Amino acid sequence: MKDNFEEPVFNELICDPINSSGNYIKKENVRIIGKTKIKVEEESHEGVKVILKKDEEESIKEIKFACSCGQTKTIILNYSE
């Protein structure tokens, strides 16, 4: 029952494009840079969906606004200071 209310946690990956060739990504070219949670606000406002990307401590890292017309705008938050 507890799993029904928890948001899934995903590994956040970065790939080195210089060493990859074709359509294949080799495991030695991929690094795990952290963990992230992704939440989509289903209730859209005037055709705009809000997508929240959080870290494991529930701090919002990225806010993405996706319009039904296909355009997106992203705000990236940096808590390093």
What is the per-residue pLDDT for 76? 86
When computed from its CA atoms, the radius of gyration of the chain, rounded to whole angstroms, is: 16
Q: Is 0.75 surpassed by the pTM of this model?
A: no
What is the per-residue pLDDT for 18? 66
Handedness of CA 11, 63, 7, 80 (dihedral sign): positive
Q: What is the chain's pLDDT, residue by residue, as a tens digit (81 residues)?
A: 455 666 678 888 777 766 656 677 777 778 888 888 887 776 656 778 888 888 877 888 888 888 888 888 998 888 776
Q: Which tokens is 25 given?
A: 């990504």
